[in-house]
Amino acid sequence: MKVCKFGGTSLASAQQIKKVANIITADTSRRIVVVSAPGKRFDTDIKITDHLISLADAALSGNDTSSGFRQIMERYEEIISGLGLESSLLNDIEEDLYNRLHSSRKDAGLFTDTLKASGEDASAKLVAAYLTATGLSAQYCNPKDAGLLLNDPPAYPQLLPEAYGRLAALKDNEAICVFPGFFGFTASGVLRTFNRGGSDITGAILAAAVKAELYENFTDVDSVFAANPRVVDQPVSISHMTYREMRELSYAGFAVLHDEALMPAFRAAVPVCIKNTNNPEAPGTMITAERDFSEQPVTGISADSGFSTLYVSKYLMNREIGFGRKLLQILEEEQISYEHAPSGIDDLSVIIRSHQLKPGQDARIVERVKTELAADDVHFRHDFSMVVLVGEGMRHTTGLTARAAAAIARTGANIEMINQGSSEVSLVFGILKHDETRVLRELYQEFFAPVYAEL
């Protein structure tokens, strides 16, 4: 059996939901359907989830909620009438939203989550009703009844391992199970949402639980591209990649799937296929544990900005056992996680994501490192980008670093940092942010230029 997950744009309108139904009808092995909340119909549209967040904000700050409530219900009404479904469903959804809006606001985060989760929940009810209307046997599945149990806050939200056993029962359902993504419940029955990549994770969890033959992740692109199409003109599609490649690419700016979303599928060795709801005939991008990588060493190139470097130098640092550890400990106490820590003999740089720094915190960190570690020179530099080349074939290809470094040199950009040596599937270059676009294009040209360019 297959688990299919549909993203927000695949559920944005009655017309889109009809495409979803066609996709499910076309393959009888598609037995579990995970849905996001209805997304944008057009570029400037507002997603249901964003409407729900505004509604929660209005309620929490004591402002009027009636117009926000009405806007949301109008979206549902348009979908239900477009699908020719009965108005009793609209009443159900309205009553549910009303009850959520008037639930306890004591825990503001929980209140907001409760409202947000209603988007996926309503979406699942809509899709189940429409599939039933087209003559399929389909059923809305409640995550609480199904047993999607999450740990308690404040720990990072994760599925309780014992939940897999109960979720596995979904594979015995006679009807197609339509499952809302993004949320589950704690053991004591309190709603809890996934931090990031919400519905993708739900799909991956269910695919793992039922040991699906395939986890199909339907979105609005034909495939994952080898580089950001907003920067590189018509980048090539990636037809096949490994979990590790996906994760490394996601790390630095690839937005198709959140890097964590595949974890459950990865652990259960369920293959993933990223497909397009609007063009389901396209083969999409397959993601598996292994792949043949003989043809192309580099699978994709991603780039992300917003990095800062903490530079520390101290004479005879390399004599001092524990210096690096103490520096990382200060960052840990400051709640800063680090990305890379290239070291010289008497100096050490720590590269972090800049957004973690609160106002004034960089000065405090510099001061602490200077006094607590008796360092000679300590300073921050900002506005760096990381460009990451990813490919399982890279470790078998001599001269690849040279090609990449030469391509960067052709743009006139300076390589501020290189990190090669731990992960065998990626090569990270630190550059100044203002060089990022040029570097990404040149690297793409170097590794993905059409073959005829070399003739």
Which spans of this chain sit near a second copy (rule: CB under 8 A)? 156, 247-248, 251, 259-260, 263, 309, 311, 315-316, 318-322, 324-325, 328-329, 331-332, 335-349, 351, 395, 398-399, 401-402, 405-406, 408-409, 412-423, 425-426, 430
Outline where 179-304 has alpha helix (H): 198-209, 243-251, 263-267
Which residue do the tokens 């209603």 mark?
Answer: 118
Q: Is 119 annotated as a binding residue?
A: no
Nearer to a second copy, 107 or 320 (CB): 320
Q: For a second copy, give the closer residue by CB, 164 or 311.
A: 311
293 labeled binding residue: no
Q: CB nearer to a second copy: give 187 or 406.
A: 406
Nearer to a second copy, 98 or 315 (CB): 315
> Closest separation between CB of residue 5 and a second copy, Å?
21
Least gap, CB of 290 to a second copy (angstroms): 16
Buried b / exposed e over 129-139, threshold 16 CB at 10 Å, is bbbbeeebebb
Rg (CA), the chain: 24
Query: Any alpha helices (H) in 183-338, and if so which ranges?
Result: 198-209, 243-251, 263-267, 323-333
C-alpha dihedral sign at 218, 221, 222, 223: negative
- Nearer of residues 85 and 262 to a second copy, judged by Cβ: 262
**CB atoms near residue 59 (< 10 Å):** 22
Instruction: Give the contacts of 201 (CB within 8 A, at least 6 positions apart).
Output: 181, 194, 258, 260, 261, 263, 264
Q: How far is the CB of 200 from a second copy (least distance, A)?
A: 15
For a second copy, the closer CB: 277 or 299: 299
Check whether 309 is labelled as a binding-site residue.
no
Least distance between a second copy and beta carbon 422 (Å) = 4
**CA-CA distance, 378 to 375, in Å (whole number)?**
7
Asked if 79 and 38 touch (Cβ cutoff 8 Å), the reply is: yes
Distance of closest approach, residue 52 Cβ to a second copy, in angstroms:
27
398 is in an annotated binding site: no
- Beta carbon of residue 277, minimum distance to a second copy (angstroms, whole number): 29
Binding-site residue ranges for ATP: 5-8, 219-220, 230
Binding-site residue ranges: 5-8, 49, 120, 219-220, 230
